[in-house]
């Protein structure tokens, strides 16, 4: 039996690009305040998703 599991795709390439930009900025000098970024995950609907009964 093969069933597709519903998951969240976390976009590792986007996360890596953000990390690289932050590392380069930190090497240029101290930051005035912490900067937070959010990378929205993508919901991958597969066979394990159904309407609640």
pLDDT tens digit sequence for 18-34? 999 988 988 988 877 77
Look up residue 32 and give its DSSP letter. S
pLDDT value, residue 9? 92
Q: What angle do CA 23, 35, 31 make, to 5 degrees?
A: 60
The structure tokens listed for 52 are 């609640």
pLDDT value, residue 30? 81
Please, what is the average pLDDT of the chain? 86
């Amino acid at each position: 039996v093969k069933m597709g599991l519903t998951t969240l795709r976390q976009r590792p390439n986007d996360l890596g690009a953000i990390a690289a930009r932050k590392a380069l900025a930190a090497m240029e000098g101290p930051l005035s305040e912490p900067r937070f970024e959010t990378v929205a995950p993508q919901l991958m609907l597969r066979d394990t998703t159904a309407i609640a009964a």
